Amino acid sequence: MQAFADLYRALDETNATREKVAAMEAYFRQAPPEDAAWAVHFLVGRRLKRLVPTAELRQWVLDATGMPAWLLEETYATVGDLAETLALLLDSELPPPSVAGHPLHHWVERRLLVLRELPAAERQRRVTQWWAELPTDGRFVLNKMLTGAFRVGVSRQLVVRALSGVSGLERATIAHRLMGRWQPDAAFFRGLLDPAAQGEDASRPYPFFLASPLDAVPEERLGAATDWLAEWKWDGIRGQLLRRAGDCYLWSRGEDLMEGRFPELEQAAQRLPDGVVLDGEILAWGGDRPLPFRQLQRRIGRQNPSVRLLREAPVIFQAYDLLELDGTDIRSRPLEQRREALGRLLRGTDDVLRLSPMLTAGSWKELARRRDAARALGTEGLMLKRLGSPYRVGRPRGDWWKWKLDPLTIDAVMLYAQPGHGRRSNLYTDYTFGVWNGELLVPVAKAYSGLDNAEIQELDRWIRANTVERFGPVRSVRAAQVFELAFEGIGESPRHKSGLALRFPRINRWRRDLAVGEADTLEQVRALLP
Amino acid sequence: MLVQLTSAGLYCAAGDFHVDPWRPVPRAVITHAHADHARSGMGVYYATHDGLPLLRQRLGRQAQLRGVSYDQPFRLRGARVSLHPAGHVLGSAQVRIEVNDEVWVVSGDYKRDPDSSCAPFQVVPCDTFITEATFALPIYRWPPMHEVARDMLHWWRRNADAGKASVLFCYSLGKAQRVLAELSALTSEPAYLHGAMVPLVDLYRRAGVSMLPTRAVSEAPRGTDFSRSLILAPPASAGSPWMRRFRHPATGFASGWMRIRGNRRRRGYDRGFVVSDHADWPSLLRTIRETGAQRVLATHGRTDVLVRYLREELGLAAAPLATPYGVEDGA
């Protein structure tokens, strides 16, 4: 555990990727495989399913320190990270660590994973005891595991780099072996670094190839339009649909196995031949176009959806790539060959598995025109894929670009602010904005990015000096600051006060030139509805 | 009220003087030489003898300075005034004010942790205690300074082995000298100083504070290899062109704010060292208890938290005083 806490610290203490990779390599070289497996688990962002409700953790810290609850909340609002807050609050309330440390796998397997089954009083006794065993940084890492919010500040790619450095294996091989289902144990870790080919697990997806945003005019960057395949950029859930060994598996890009949530897709996949992997987008669909994202959202968390939900928010799989055919990995074949094979495969299947249409055009100008129609068709713009390119791993720039529509914008007034988390803790960086509805400002969006550091600092000072009321960590502020917000889409939403939900709102710029009276009205915002 | 808040500062009517005023007034009693407490433009300044050279450096030749010894009462009109060590920086003082058997103490900034670069804090019993609250949250607890100094040395050596200069950011007055004094117990290898620190370090040396030997970066010959060196610099120099000469340095920041990871990560330092010249949470509570004060007024920092805690948990009369201190953030 201490070795892992030291690794966490080393990763936290540098911004240089080379040093982060070196720290991970050093750890993996010396850690026993049963510990290293868990380290990989946490480093790539997997978590232990919630072991203890955070309300319980808070209460135990109150019990251990005797401090009033409001003081803990004030402190949390300042620190911005619950695991860290609790670790720090316990300092010097406890005797210095006394017990020689247990290894990481012992902590996870013998101690943490059994917590869920224990009665609350016993959970409290054990966790309080562990806090006393560990120094501050170890306690912090323990709390991170307990709260399940384990962000280490390394990307999956960096972990892959380190594992590739330690093993001498190709990064793509490591990336692939890290996909899908695996049990973090010694056998897994040995297999991960084993030069011999691994027996494939039928459920294992391929690493996704991710597109980069295109922030230039394509003719300046991408050469001739005829070298590119264009298609709509769908706004759904990226997914991989596997049909292997008589079963099918649907993986999201976040590597969730979405079993039981989209029965219509699983059913349709049954009709595919064995040994096939499709890459595509899960969309809620009505007629000839996607339903608003909100409809898809209703489906995401729902196991075994009701007949009514299936009728109201039916989903389809809009396939755009074929990664495996007849049990063979075909990712290295040129794009057009994969597309052709995909077309053949989907010919004659029903409407649930569809082929994402290709948009051919002779010139960028023509494609730009098509792109202008994207919003009306319920898409976010265009995807551009280089003909002849293989299906790569991760987000290397060059072959896949997302050429999104310019966002919609409104001018809105800041109403509330609250402190951010992590790096932005104890700065007011999370804002709520409103627009006019008659004489009143109604909240219409929350946003937390888009300002530069100097602006954030300045706004933070302004917020502190212009607070009207405080509700816990949230402050309402004098209605005086106007911001231009950008967003990708807008839909009706009965859940929001304004009756509207914006998709991916963020701050475009601070409109110091506008008085609050010049901000948009709800009516003006509604006019943007599709 | 023996001391009240006016637009110019904390004012004692009986003595007709201000403590650490922020607008020009005829008579100012100064707790210490940080810019937010010692401003220019006052008629006469009263401060401790230990602190006078620093004040002179800050305020210039024209300023009228009167030196006072620690613990030696003097009269200002109807008030009996004395200065007592605050343990914050060299020459820092708490101001004790007595009028008709009522005693108030204005603490200025203070700390309780040992610091070989200045006189240790002295508890001064009083009826009303005016305290700072810079770090008034229970997460703020300072580790022992000698342990932090050992970590600093270890960090410096590791960077040197990796061929990297170690640039340690810290405030020029107080923190830099304290760090140099602590490190001198562990090594005698010289450190480099940013130009802004040189005169202040000299003044500390002249006051007899023993510190690591130092050299000014500006006096190092062109092309000097800093890759094994420790360099102390004010935080404002981070990211400036001045930093380029160190190639790819490791950077650290010595401050109480470094207790929170997010603060360090936001500022982009590689390493945070938790060192503060302010009272941490246990020290604030302990000091308030030890003064025996029945009323506590909090001037700057997390006054909201401290006041509420004192009222609700300890049953003391407590209130915030809105002052502009703490802007320089010499924490």
Taking an 8 Å cut-off on Cβ atoms, the answer to whether A423 and B260 are in contact is: no
Condensed to tens digits (0 to 9), the pLDDT of residues A434-478 reads: 999 998 999 999 998 788 888 998 999 899 888 888 877 889 999
**Residue B188, both tokens:** 């005698």
Does residue B252 sit in helix, strand or coil?
A: strand
Q: Which residue has the tokens 């897994």?
A: A188
Among A13, A65, A81, beta carbon nearest to B270: A13
Residue B325 lies in a domain: no
- B22 plus B75 within the same structural domain: yes
Which of A81, A421, A425, A457 would best serve as a mutation to test chain B binding (most B beta carbons within 10 A)? A425
Q: CB distance from A68 to chain B under 8 Å? A: yes
Least CB–CB distance from B265: residue in A78, A79, A423: A423
Domain shared by B91 and B151, yes or no: no
**Tokens standing for residue A56:** 């319980």
Q: Same domain, yes or no, for B80 and B119?
A: yes
Residues B248, B119: Cα–Cα separation, whole Å? 38
Q: How far apart are CA A527 and CA A277, in angstroms?
A: 42
Residues B22-44: pLDDT tens digits?
A: 999 999 999 999 999 999 999 99
User: Are A381 and A419 in a shared domain?
Assistant: no
Q: What is the distance between the terminal CA atoms of chain A, rounded to a whole angstrom?
A: 53
Chain-centre distance for alpha carbon A141? 22
Closest CA to B329 of B257, B262, B265: B257
pLDDT in tens, A35-61: 999 999 999 988 888 788 889 999 999
Domain that holds residue B134: 3-139+278-320
Inside any domain, residue A500? yes
DSSP string, A421-461: SGGGTTSEEEEEEEEEETTEEEEEEEE--S--HHHHHHHHH
Calpha distance A277→A239 (Å, rounded)? 10
Which residues, listed in sequence order, are joined to residue B19 by a DSSP beta bridge? B10, B29
A66 & A133 share domain: yes
Task: Band the pLDDT of A93: cuts 50, 70, 90.
Answer: low
Nearest to A92 by CA among B99, B95, B281: B281
**Which ipTM did the prediction report?**
0.92
H-type alpha helices, A350-418: 364-372
Give CA B68 to chain center in angstroms. 20
Whole-number Å distance between alpha carbons of A87 and A144: 10
pLDDT at res. B328 = 47
Place A515 in a pLDDT band, splitting at 50, 70 and 90: confident
Q: What are the chain A neighbours of B260 within 8 Å (beta carbons)?
A: 78-79, 84, 88, 425-426
Provide the mean pLDDT of chain A: 90
Higher pLDDT, B196 or A419: B196
Residue A182 has pLDDT above 60, yes or no: yes
Residue A397 and residue A472 share a domain: no
Indicate the residue of B259, B271, B308 with minimum beta-carbon distance to A88: B259
**A300 and A332: one domain?**
yes
Question: Contact at 8 Å (CB) between A507 and A484?
Answer: yes
Contact A130, A142 (CB under 8 A): yes
Which residue among B268, B271, B305 sits closest to A74, beta carbon to beta carbon?
A: B305
User: Closest residue of A to B259, CA-based?
Assistant: A88
Residues A141-180 pLDDT 10s: 999 999 877 777 788 889 999 999 999 998 888 988 998 8
Phi, psi of B55 (to 5 degrees): -65, -40
A234 and A368 part of one domain: yes
Q: What is the CATH number of the domain that holds B93?
A: 3.60.15.10
Q: How many domains does chain A have?
A: 3
Across chain B, which has 331 residues, the per-10-residue mean pLDDT values are: 94 97 97 95 97 95 96 97 98 98 97 96 98 96 95 96 96 97 96 96 96 96 93 93 92 94 82 95 97 96 95 96 71 55
Do A360 and A445 lie in a common domain? no
Q: Which of A104, A125, A147 is the last residue of a domain?
A: A147
Query: Does the distance separating the beta carbons of A80 and B262 come in below 8 Å?
Result: yes
Q: Does A424 touch chain B (CB under 8 A)?
A: yes
- Verify that A328 and A473 share a domain, yes or no: no
The reply to whether B116 and B160 lie within a common domain is: no
CA distance B53 to B59: 10
Domain contains B331: no
d(CA B219, CA B196): 13
Q: Which residues of A touch B309 (CB under 8 A)?
A: 68, 71
Question: Structural domain of residue A503, as residue ranges?
Answer: 408-526
CATH of the domain at A340: 3.30.470.30
Tally the domains of chain B. 2
pLDDT score of A97: 64
Test the B interface: residue of A8, A13, A15 with most B CBs within 10 Å: A13
Residue B244 and residue B128 in one domain = no
At A99 the pLDDT is: 57
Cβ-defined contact of B261 to A12 (cutoff 8 Å): yes
pLDDT at position A480 is: 92
pLDDT digits (tens, 9 = 90+) for A235-261: 899 999 999 988 999 998 877 788 889
Report chain B residues whose CB lies below 8 A from the CB of A85.
Answer: 139
Report strand pairing: A228-232 vs A247-252: unpaired
Domain boundary (A147, A171, A196) is at: A147
Q: Do B263 and A425 touch (CB under 8 A)?
A: yes
Same domain, A448 and A366: no
Considering only CB atoms, B270 lies closest to which of A14, A422, A425, namely: A14
- The closest of B67, B177, B52, B59 to B116, measured between CA atoms, is B177
Query: What is the per-residue pLDDT for B330?
Result: 46
Same domain (yes/no): A248, A383: yes
Residues B18 and B121 in one domain: yes
> Residue A94 above 80 pLDDT?
no
Question: What is the per-residue pLDDT for A422?
Answer: 65
The two tokens of residue B176 are 């830099």
Comparing CB atoms, the residue among A12, A67, A427 nearest residue B138 is A67
A81/B262 touch (CB, cutoff 8 Å), yes or no: yes
Domain shared by B230 and B269, yes or no: yes
- pLDDT of A496 strictly over 60: yes
User: To the nearest whole percent, how much of chain A has pLDDT over 70?
Assistant: 97
